[in-house]
Structure 1
Amino acid sequence: MDGIADYEFERPLGESNYGTNYLARTPARLGIDADHVVVKVIAGPTSDDAFRRATRELKHFSVADSDRLVEVYDAGRHGGAFYYAMEFLPMGSLESPASPLDSGRAVAAVRDAALAAHALHERGIAHRDIKPANILIADDGGRLADLGLSQLLAPGMVMTGLGRIGLEYTDPAIMTGAQASRASDIWSLGACLHFALTRRGVYGDSLPAEPLLLVRAILATKPMIADDLPGPARDLISDCLDPDVTRRPRTADEVAERATAIASTMST
């Protein structure tokens, strides 16, 4: 695909939930001080379900009203596809940074993801897919991206499909039918903090790639926290991953506060 509407694509950036991301030149009509934007395209036979998911994602971006979420500039339909444009962060993600991150910057990115998650939670929305690939690096910390799997925190709503969700960073209770909640996103933030400090997941490096086998392996394995982490970081990760949701931090804002204290002790 060379472009959509008045967006000229330069290169694909990979797939995300329910769409493909492209790096595009910024049309002058947007009036923003940026040479490039990211355009997410939901194409193929554009179904009502795909359109519903995309509009839900945009609605959740807007109602959360957080500067720690990726900024959305524009949206529309063109030639049977739905698209929206958002800010481009050239420093990459926590999973694949454009250049090596020191521990302080990595923790700051998770802190900001927690702030964004808290803003969503306060509007009754669970992200459901907080993972290193969805925590983007910014000059002042990080941004939380990709709300394609977000859903309202309503009684009885459970995950009906795993899709492209980052299973290593998902509360295991979700895989057995639990409702997405503040607590499940907090579990994900703890797993992301562990990755930020160790570059390793909490289940080790030998997990199977096939989704069903991966789920089985995760459900049969207790998360492992690295022994060499600083005490406050280890304590926060342990609290976030506690199987008893009542013992986890009550809010993602609390996670952010504790992460701020951890980042302040590290070089930046």
Structure 2
Amino acid sequence: MDETTDLTPAPRAVGPYTLTRSLGRGGFGEVFLGEAGDGTRAAVKLLHANWSGDADMRRRFAAEVEQARRVSGFCIAEILAADPDAAQPWIATEFIDGPTLHRAVTVEGPRTGAELQRLAIATATALAAIHAAGVVHRDLKPDNIMLAPDGPRVIDFGIARAVESTSVTASGIVGTVGYMAPEQLEGMRLTAAVDVFSWASVLVFAATGRDAFHGPTQAARIARVLSGEPDTGDLSGPLLGTILACLDKNPKRRPDAPALLHHLVAGTVPAPDGQAPARTCHRSSGGTSSPSRGCASSSTIRAR
């Protein structure tokens, strides 16, 4: 949410913050740039006034605050203050002075080489922390990753759900087409595996500038997610193998976030069943890679 507009009708002061301009607007709330008396800036999200009288929506907003508070602050926009019981509920988070991943790739082009690998590891670390807190994000996408000077942050837990036991029940299709897992599109019971699928889709966009499951219409994109193959461009090496494992149509075969992080750091590729020991891209004395799923003739990560 790096594009700004003039302040739209809303309280000019919320808690300790004076609202100066709009940073972004969604179906349930709007985010403003706020400034406290000591100069601290924050992204202040207000629930739309027309939703403030809806008891169910207020409970969702309060749940968003609670979910975000459970996640380690190093990987998300840290909560600075909140009042879910206010006449117009609000939450103030760390202001990230940087673009979204979507805007950065659109303006500057795809990420490559070590920069892409750093992005992969940083976002996988964030995903592991989110899941360790018992939260499923459910809408991980390039627009929900902010590129701060000290590393990426995952934002917008507005449709996240706390994990009960090992899964949550979907009440409908919620998310962004092209980044939702097949089971999410089909309204099945969801686990943290949906975020792993979304993470892989995000990395494909970062590396290629295109959606992994692009198509001329929304119906075509949905069909491709459900039964087609992703377009991974020029990606190769262990990162490609890991991404393909995360895009498996069967959520039980995808690695979980800690395993994903392990493979990224070790330069290994998850086995097809998601459970067996990892396989590494070995090099022969001639410098070529021996055959292994996800291993190409070079371990270099390339993108166009």
TM-score of the superposed pair, with normalisation by structure 1: 0.82
Q: Against the structure 1 CA distance between its residues 74 and 122, is the aligned structure 2 distance closer, same or farther, given a 3 Å change threshold?
A: same
Aligned residues: 255
Contact 2:213/2:221, CA 8 A, preserved across alignment:
no
Distance apart, 1:260 and its partner CA: 4.7
Equivalent in the alignment of 1:228: 234
1:71-90 equivalent positions in 2, closer than 5 A: 71-76=78-83, 80-90=87-97
**What residue identity is the alignment partner of 1:18?**
F
Contact 2:67/2:162, CA 8 A, preserved across alignment:
no
Distance apart, 1:79 and its partner CA: 7.0
Question: In the alignment, does 2:183 pair up with 1:173?
Answer: yes
Equivalent in the alignment of 1:31: none
> Could you give the per-residue CA deviations for residues 79-134 of structure 1, whole angstroms, max 9, x where no partner exists?
72111111111211111129636434454334333222212222322111111111
The CA RMSD measured in Å over matched residues stands at 2.9
Contact 1:66/1:119, CA 8 A, preserved across alignment:
no
Match of 2:144 among 134, 138, 158: 134
**What residue identity is the alignment partner of 1:238?**
L
Distance apart, 1:261 and its partner CA: 6.0
Distance apart, 1:246 and its partner CA: 2.8
Which whole-Å CA distance do the structure 1 matches of 2:234 and 2:220 have between them? 26
Equivalent in the alignment of 1:189: 199
Equivalent in the alignment of 1:44: 49
SS at match of 2:153: strand
Q: Against the structure 1 CA distance between its residues 156 and 196, is the aligned structure 2 distance closer, same or farther, given a 3 Å change threshold?
A: closer
Contact 1:21/1:41, CA 8 A, preserved across alignment:
yes
Q: Against the structure 1 CA distance between its residues 173 and 77, is the aligned structure 2 distance closer, same or farther, given a 3 Å change threshold?
A: closer
Equivalent in the alignment of 1:242: 248
Q: Against the structure 1 CA distance between its residues 16 and 257, is the aligned structure 2 distance closer, same or farther, given a 3 Å change threshold?
A: farther
Match of 2:157 among 130, 140, 147: 147
1:1-268 equivalent positions in 2, closer than 5 A: 1=9, 3-5=12-14, 6-16=16-26, 18-28=28-38, 35-45=40-50, 46=52, 47-76=54-83, 80-97=87-104, 100=108, 102-103=111-112, 104-154=114-164, 157-163=168-174, 165-208=175-218, 213=219, 216-218=222-224, 221-249=227-255, 251-260=256-265
Which whole-Å CA distance do the structure 2 matches of 1:148 and 1:69 have between them? 13
Contact 1:73/1:85, CA 8 A, preserved across alignment:
yes
Q: Against the structure 1 CA distance between its residues 171 and 16, is the aligned structure 2 distance closer, same or farther, given a 3 Å change threshold?
A: same
**What residue identity is the alignment partner of 1:57?**
E
Q: Once structures 1 and 2 are overlaid, which stretch shifts more, 146-155 or 214-223? A: 214-223
Which whole-Å CA distance do the structure 2 matches of 1:177 and 1:51 have between them? 24
Distance apart, 1:15 and its partner CA: 2.3
Distance apart, 1:176 and its partner CA: 1.0
**Gap regions ≥5 residues in structure 2:** 1-8, 268-298
SS at match of 2:202: helix
Which whole-Å CA distance do the structure 2 matches of 1:203 and 1:74 have between them? 38
**What residue identity is the alignment partner of 1:112?**
A
SS at match of 2:81: strand
**What residue identity is the alignment partner of 1:254?**
A
Which whole-Å CA distance do the structure 1 matches of 2:220 and 2:47 have between them? 27
Higher relative contact order (CA 8 A, sep 6+): 1
Which whole-Å CA distance do the structure 2 matches of 1:14 and 1:206 have between them? 27
Which whole-Å CA distance do the structure 2 matches of 1:258 and 1:197 have between them? 18
Q: Once structures 1 and 2 are overlaid, which stretch shifts more, 101-110 or 167-176? A: 101-110
Which whole-Å CA distance do the structure 2 matches of 1:51 and 1:105 have between them? 40
Which whole-Å CA distance do the structure 2 matches of 1:110 and 1:139 have between them? 16
Distance apart, 1:217 and its partner CA: 3.9
SS at match of 2:147: strand
Which whole-Å CA distance do the structure 2 matches of 1:23 and 1:169 have between them? 28
Contact 1:89/1:136, CA 8 A, preserved across alignment:
yes
Distance apart, 1:158 and its partner CA: 2.1
